[in-house]
A and B are shown apart, each in its own frame.
Chain A
Amino acid sequence: MSQARKLLSRWGETFLPVVAVAAALVVGAVMLLALNVNPLEAYGAMLTGVVGSVSGFTQALVKATPLLLVGLGITIAFRGGVINIGGEGQLIVGALAATAVALALPGWPGVVLLPMTLAAGIVGGAAWGGVPGALKARLGVNEILSTIMMNQIAVQLANYLLRGPMIDPAEIAAGTQIAQSAQLPEQVWLVRLVPRTLLNAGAIIAVVAAALVYIFLWRTTIGYRIRAVGLNPDAARFAGIRVPLYQALSLILGGAFAGLAGAVEVLGVQHRMLEGLSGGYGFSGIVAALFGKLHPLGMIPSSILFGGLLVGADKMQRAVQVPSALIGTLLGLIVLFVVSSDIWVRYRARRRQTHE
């Protein structure tokens, strides 16, 4: 194979996810036509809604923050060969734990309380990921199904806590009974980066986390073992790696990052815990992780892109009255296209083997 063609095929593999997104947008355009909407107008509204103003772009970054953190957790799990669908539940429990700690110690100074609150989120998410992890390691329970069930349980747990023990006393006094916690003490709020927008220091935390995950997976022994288990569990076992332990660990770490995402969302954006906080980040985080080719640094542009898509969908809904549910459909298609395109990568790899 000529040098040029080799280069071309490598580029092809790198940009397969981009092709997948483009293909999904084309299918989306057909659906828009079926709904009697001009696709150019709809996608135009999406694009200008995001890049056309400072507020649109910062909104995209605000949404990219939890996507990046959740996606990092999913990246670790997938690299370890376990499929973590539980980002949603882990994020919710992380947010609940962070809220509980911040509300329990309102008089404490921010320098102490803020790290404690973030740590609570990490621990909460790790625990929620740890249950499926332990069940997989000990009893061989399918982690896809157990993490999905843990999502449902987390939603109910949040409903219960936010209507009962954790409800804002002001809500009871006013008789409105909205399911949300009291506002967190101001010293734990994350700094806003751009005035009059929601963009906050959480975005910096997420980018630092991405760098740390990269170092962890590629520069530490534990990270190396996690990847070895994911690449080939049998070979890893022969090499003396305790496979179940590392599978459980990758679920726990995955949960930790999703939990951190929940804490950051509470501390940076909402300043309280409320129902529906997660907004599907657990699932869109999977899409972003796949698009980022399960690479922590690739996740950074990927999460910005998908944050933009989510914001763009809202703008499109307002501009051309297309329900933002369209974006959910497109996310599903992107997943299907990305995993389907794997066969092309494998085919190229085999051809290269036989040719060289």
Chain B
Amino acid sequence: MSELFTLPVLLGILYSGVRLATPYLYAAIGEMFAQRSGVLNLGVEGIMLMGAYTAFFVAMSTHNLWLGLLAACLVGLLMGLLMAFVSVTLQAEQGISGIGLHLFGLGLSSLLFKKTLGSVESISGFQPVKIPVLGDLPLIGEVLFNHNLLVYGAFVLVPVAWWVLTRTTLGLKIRAVGVKPEAADSLGVSVTRIRYFTVGLGGVLAGVAGASLSIALINLFQENMTNGQGFIAVALVYFGGWTPFGVMGGALLFSFVNALQLWIQVKGINLSSDVAVMLPYILTIVALAVGRRSQQPAALAKPFERGEN
């Protein structure tokens, strides 16, 4: 074990841990907004897949990564609004409709992939940008300040989300709608409009999460490439106690376990790599069991109907 954890190896694991937290952060912060307003969107995985495909396809055909990212945002928004329509306007059972949205995204991204690409190809995605001064710091400079823009964006999103949620009127409305929609409604806050906003935002961020995989981290698209990350992101919201910094802590814990697991696979250590691949999923179940459920928004997954008393 001693030659396994030399300093460069450790730094390498930390570096990829920070990198791999990116999709979790975008998806989970978006999902956190939806859940804080009372909507459980389980379709995140399907939206991520569509975002990943769209970003990759547009970036490849236009040779413009930003257009790819923008397209992923739009597709994410559309799918988010579809989920909002089904769960808010039509008041459908949220758990099952989310699974429906997931199946839809999984099927459609595979279908489009086979029709338009046919085989796995890679592109040159967003390149690392070294931050001046900070990037030259010993040890942590390389680990923290030499990433591509989407990675930085994910970490900037965390304090921004915290600020919006706790320091703005919008954030107050979101929280009110998630805890006591009747009260918010009687004070003139439109429950419907707030929930459309948060679920739409969650969709956009899930789209970006998918794009971060296909045009910034792995730089290719293949069927079902998210492999459960969207569902883990939903679980991270529970684990993080519905707060942005809690979610970030969970995302980092997961991505470090992931980085470690990838390293174990590369090294071909006797502890079977199949067992290592199970680690994130086992960890998710443990995380759910120890999560702080007392902070769960009171109206989570409950449709709101006006004038019902």
Contact = CB atoms under 8 A, between A and B. Distances in A.
Interface of A: 31, 35, 83, 85, 131, 135, 139-142, 144-146, 148-150, 152-153, 156-157, 159-160, 163-164, 283, 286-287, 290, 323, 325-336, 339-340, 342-343, 346
Contacts of B42: 144
Contact of A140 (B91, B110, B231, B293): B293
Contacts of A287: 103
Nearest to B42: A144
Contact of B101 (A85, A157, A330, A332): A332
A28 B56 CA distance: 24
Contacts of B111: 31, 323, 325-326, 328-329
B218 interface: no
B99 A330 contact: no
A149 B100 CA distance: 18
B66 interface: no
Interface string B82-95: 10001000111101
The 4 closest A-B pairs by CB, nearest first: A328-B107, A332-B104, A335-B100, A332-B103
B105 interface: yes
A82 B236 CA distance: 21
Contacts of B275: 156, 160
B288 to A, nearest CB: 5
Interface stretch (B1-9, B132-140, B199-207, B278-286): B278-286
Give the secondary structure class of B's interface: helix
Contacts of A145: 231, 234-235, 238, 284, 288
B288 A328 contact: no
Contacts of B284: 145, 149
A343 B90 contact: yes
Interface string B102-142: 11111110110011000000000000000000000000000
Contacts of B105: 332
B274 A159 contact: yes
A337 to B, nearest CB: 8
Nearest to B274: A160
A325 B234 CA distance: 25
B169 interface: no
B97 A335 contact: yes
Contacts of B82: 336
A335 B96 contact: yes
A85 B114 contact: no
B272 interface: yes
Given A323-B110, A323-B111, A325-B107, A146 B100 contact: no
B228 interface: yes
A328 B278 contact: no
Given A160-B274, A290-B96, A323-B114, A141 B281 contact: no
Given A152-B228, A323-B115, A329-B111, A339 B97 contact: yes
B206 to A, nearest CB: 16
Contact of A141 (B114, B277, B282, B285): B285
Contacts of A153: 278, 281-282
B289 interface: yes
Contacts of A328: 103-104, 106-108, 110-111
B158 to A, nearest CB: 22
B90 A335 contact: no
A149 B108 contact: no
A332 B107 contact: yes
B46 interface: yes
B97 A135 contact: no
B174 to A, nearest CB: 21
B173 to A, nearest CB: 25
